[in-house]
Amino acid sequence: MEMKLKLIAAFIFFAVARLHAAYDHVFVVVLENVGYEAIVGSPHAPYINNTMLPLGTLYSQSYGVAFDSLPNYIALFSGSKQGVTSNKCIDDPYAPNGPFTAPNLYTRLKNKGLTCVGYMESLPYAGFAGCVAKPYFAKHNPFVFFTNVPGSAWVPYTKRSNWPNCAWIIPNVQNDMHNGVDQADKVRRGDTWLSQHMPDIIAYCNANNGLLILTMDEGRKGVYKNRLFTLLIGNSEPQGAVDGTRVDQYSMCRRITDNFGVAPLP
């Protein structure tokens, strides 16, 4: 019964997504770990709660498909966890993850003549394939794990005036709510970073028919059940709305492929 309900919810989500006009640009911004409950209504996230939530649709039943960061990023990027259950790098001598040859958002869009680029904050240089260059971590960069994605497709993050069709923006661990002295500090850091970088992205979306997907890789365990903060902002998204449809990284990946009219990923 639970699986049937999930399938029905997914069908409704995809059906509604197809009713929306296609966006020319999709931005994917991924936060870390603190979960839905730590953000919504929090005094430590004034920009998210007072500025961003009124602009878009909050998905109140959004969940991660796994624990540990990497399998969630891989799922969002390729429609499958590719068997990943840990944060091991592709060059780990004992139990590497990948490299994978499976189709993904980059290959789907490229085959249609569209562009997909990952912008990684604190990445040393374009195509850097190392595991760690603190505060950058490869476990938050799915692009590097696929042999069919060239190194030119993931580059250091900087503010820009022009963007590809699909842009992944990944803050470093100091700014994505991963690091901090406590949970309040983590949320505060992430909210501050968003307040400095999202206004330009939202303005670009408004002027260039763009959609912003602000989500996170994983939530908290136990009673929180890996519940995520997921917010969509775009011209076709209801403003100040709360949607109770159950969604996850697979749903968001499908939303992106449907939007660009390419075949869904597995």
Q: Give the model's pLDDT for residue 16.
A: 47
Could you tell me if 217 and 65 are in contact, meaning their C-beta atoms sit under 8 angstroms apart? no
Residue 87 inside a domain? The answer is: yes
What's the gap between Cα 132 and its chain centre?
20
The dihedrals phi and psi of 198, each to the nearest 5 degrees, come to -75, -30
pLDDT over threshold 60, residue 15: no
Handedness of CA 85, 88, 90, 95 (dihedral sign): negative
Residues 141-156 have a mean pLDDT of 98
Residue 202 inside a domain? The answer is: yes
Nearest partner of 30 among 168, 196, 227, judged by Cα: 168
Q: Where are the beta strands (DSSP E) in 138-251?
A: 154-156, 166-170, 210-216, 227-228, 231-234, 241-247
Nearest partner of 52 among 255, 238, 231, 263, judged by Cα: 231
Nearest partner of 60 among 37, 34, 44, 31, judged by Cα: 37
Q: Give the model's pLDDT for residue 19.
A: 47
pLDDT band at 18 (very low <50, low <70, confident <90, very high): very low
Token digits for 226?
């890996």
Residue 31 inside a domain? The answer is: yes
153-179 per-position pLDDT tens digit: 999 999 999 999 999 999 999 999 999
Residues 122-133 have a mean pLDDT of 97
Residue 97 inside a domain? The answer is: yes
Residues 87-111 have a mean pLDDT of 94
Domain CATH code at residue 203: 3.40.720.10
How many independent structural domains does the chain possess? 1
User: Cα angle at 122 between 172 and 104, to 5 degrees?
Assistant: 75
Measured between alpha carbons, how far is 1 from 3 in angstroms, rounded to an integer? 5
Q: Calculate the average pLDDT of the chain.
A: 93
The pTM assigned to this predicted structure is 0.92
225-258 per-position pLDDT tens digit: 999 999 999 999 999 999 999 999 999 999 999 9
pLDDT band at 17 (very low <50, low <70, confident <90, very high): very low
Residue 195 inside a domain? The answer is: yes
Token digits for 181?
């002295």
pLDDT band at 76 (very low <50, low <70, confident <90, very high): very high
99-110 per-position pLDDT tens digit: 999 999 999 999
Residue 249 inside a domain? The answer is: yes
Residue 198 inside a domain? The answer is: yes
> By percentage, how much of the chain surpasses pLDDT 90?
88
pLDDT band at 75 (very low <50, low <70, confident <90, very high): very high
CA distances from 157 to 35, 63, 210 (A): 24, 27, 19
Q: Give the model's pLDDT for residue 93.
A: 85
- Residue 48 belongs to what domain range? 2-260
Higher-confidence residue of 184 and 14: namely: 184
CA distances from 235 to 26, 133, 168 (A): 12, 37, 19
Token digits for 91?
């060059």
